[in-house]
Structure 1
């Protein structure tokens, strides 16, 4: 069930939500919640989108009485905001057993409702009731080696979402370096895991042949010394690159946008179908890479998006995925059983 609320903010709605004003209060809240779902909205009083999301949370709290719904002014509790890398409001984090299990950036009421429904009922990633995730290090190794030159950044080369990402993209383009990119804002597991995997705590991060080159300062030094083009390998052929991208994960969805924010109706529909199947999958935003966007149409002989692949083989688009879902075959197909 998707819940879309269209009513105005008032103090009565706010009263149904717990308010956190300190780090110690936040820590105590998570401790007491135990294995129950805790939904924390990092907000700001000046942002009308935050008021709307509080309305949605208030309504959800009536339905999910065993879950806790919490508001926290991001700028008033900076220790917590910095710990969880809150860079904009509204941002909503989901906790179970004291651990963060999911994240939602932006004012997306249907997505908030969907995440609460899944996590409150199924228990989400923290309970082990859904399919186990692939080993994270294995996944990160695949991602860092997905192209000869891989950039992990905030946003896309077309729309960088921080100054450092914008700077490093400019340097790579200025020196005619062909590279692929991964938006770390679209996947919090990758965002957090890559810091430990590479022992490099900040973004952006540039990899060459699966090995860390460094961040924007190192790339700037390499550019100034004339070593950047020798450090970054020549690009794969388009066909080899598409094969590598298709095989980034056992289940790969090529769509407009990402799991957190679908940017077309068909992409939104296929996300709902895949989420309902309960099988892990990865996504690739074809709006972030024009070469992949155009090349994959010819490579797969499938002219539209989204496109779903399982173990490197094309399954189809939203209509085929819907048919598989309605026939009860989708989960088996996603697991590669048929």
Structure 2
């Protein structure tokens, strides 16, 4: 590879004939991927690789194997496919440019934001609702279907970038993940708790009193889910209201029942 240096520039290979020119090239191209070809004019393999370099220079203007005089890869001999593979890999990685990774991270975050807002209720799962590829994802789908919740889904096995990126984006390390209006609700355990835990317990208490009541599924309306927290100044669910006044959550309802105060409150006697 060459007594001249070849840089994958905009249109052609740049020839360098001295050590001084080479050092100047490194200085000028410090923030771009630089491919250097050391070659001998008497070797036909070198001439062949020069042609390869010329084509790569047209296709990949940002390419290089040298950054700030520090070698990041090397290929000995005339092996055009391997050279092309290496150049493309380093060019796409962006590792030669400190700001490139930040730029890629920003692009990924924008993409993840769009995906989480793609539908009012978005489920990121392993597989599809028709063919879940793990037990947790299957259970999540069953819960959503059971409660007639309309949702769209994304198969995280179909995109490794999304699969890994969403873990950091949401600060949630496992799947499935359920989003409502772009906000993470949680994984299977959280949904079970919301649908089958605290809410289930408070329903059992109310059913034991024989008093009629109505329910509202806060997962079906994000505006209500968020707004009611501020309206009631109560940050969690379930919430029990009697005649428009907040009674409290599960702990308070349990305490009222134990003290014999719940039934009179439900009947409007207190």
| TM-score interval (norm. to shorter) | 0.3 to 0.5
Bigger strand share: 1
TM-score, normalising length: structure 1: 0.33
Bigger helix share: 2
